[in-house]
Amino acid sequence: MNTFGRRFRITIRGGSHASEVGIAIDGVPAGIAVGEWMFSDDLDRRRPAGIGTTPRRESDIPHIEGLCNGLTTGGIVDISFRNANVRSADYERFIAQPRPSHADLTQRRKYGDGYDISGGGMASGRMTVVLVAAGTPAKQIIPWAVFSTRTVSIGRQSDPALFDSEIGRAAREGDSIGGIAECRITGVPASLGEPFFDSAESVISHLVFSIPGVKGIEFGDGFDGTRKRGSERNDIIIDESGHTATNNEGGINGGITNGNDIIFRTAIKSTASIAVEQTTYDFMQRTMMPLSIGGRHDACIARRAAVVIEAAAAIALADLWLIHNDPK
């Protein structure tokens, strides 16, 4: 399925080298102002720039339908982006020799001859531009939420001053490197989410794991909390509003937001497409063969992924907020 959400429902379409990528958003309340200029800041945060980013450049000007006089109507809002800078021929050889740790083989096995391998198809990072776009009206629905998202580590480096050198070293060697992004959301009201299948963590995680390259997520102190005793880790309630002295739970108890900041960190793997020669199976030759991947790929996607993760969290919270206010 290419659809997510119960009340704020998004459906993505297109592919990395299709004529366009787009997203249809159902459930946006009427009367919300949506203008092209509102998308600029987040789209700019996603654009390739700096050391080790892809040389592929797209204008990424959103084409928006479903508005009347700049306001949502209660119907579907459709946002699309043209793909102009494509080089589909670069990907034909991956039919016979799928890229290691990429989705070439899994998608081909699932979809057969209908699979479009060019640009990675639906598994491409190009698809994240529409998630960032959907985050804009989502944030309009939850104006109480203040987002602060940053890359906290690249490879083994946690000092932002050294991120460029870490990425640059990998890029010069034809390799790639991963990283961790942290998202903090302030102003979240209590009572969003359910104890089990629609817990706040599971709804956010569902959408975050839809982002290509994401391999892990933790809330609050996450895995580090397993090394603490309960007496060290428990968040002591300090007032009638439910605020706590610490926030090891990451703003969520029993699947339900508790009024403290939501804090989660996301692990983003190193880019699978690398120039370093690897030996992998060739389905035409029926033997292991060397493979070196050229093309236009980021040496590190963790930096550009931060705003995508933020948008995913906004979409998830918008859905939970609308469910909370209209649970039918």
Candidates 222, 226, 223, 224; CA nearest to 252 is 222
| C-alpha pair distances (Å), 254 with each of 177, 240, 299 | 35, 19, 38
Q: Please give the Cα distance from 244 to 247 (Å, whole number).
A: 7
Number of domains in the chain: 1
> Which range of residues forms the domain containing residue 273?
3-325
Residues 6+ apart with CB under 8 A from 216: 266, 267
If you count them, how many residues does the chain have? 328
- Of 34, 57, 35, 28, nearest to 44 by C-alpha is 57
- Rounded to 10 degrees, what is the CA torsion of 115, 65, 80, 214? -80
Residue ranges in the chain assigned as alpha helix (H): 40-46, 104-111, 128-141, 163-172, 200-208, 230-233, 302-325
Please give the angle made by the CA atoms of 224, 226 and 232, to the nearest 5 degrees. 85
Going from the C-alpha of 304 to that of each of 46, 140, 281, the distances in angstroms are 5, 22, 31
Rounded Cα distance between 209 and 121, Å, is 17
CATH number reported for the structural domain that contains residue 188 in this entry: 3.60.150.10
What's the confidence (pLDDT) of residue 179? 97
Q: Does pTM surpass 0.85? A: yes
Mind listing the pLDDT tens digit of every residue in the chain (328 residues)? 799 999 999 999 988 878 899 999 999 999 999 999 999 999 999 998 888 888 788 889 999 999 999 999 999 999 999 988 777 677 788 888 999 998 888 888 888 877 777 766 778 888 999 999 999 999 999 999 999 999 999 999 999 999 999 999 999 999 999 999 999 999 999 999 999 999 999 999 999 999 999 999 999 999 999 999 999 999 999 999 999 999 999 999 999 999 999 999 999 999 999 999 999 999 999 999 999 987 778 999 999 999 999 999 999 999 999 999 986 6
CA-CA distance, 81 to 65, in Å (whole number)? 12
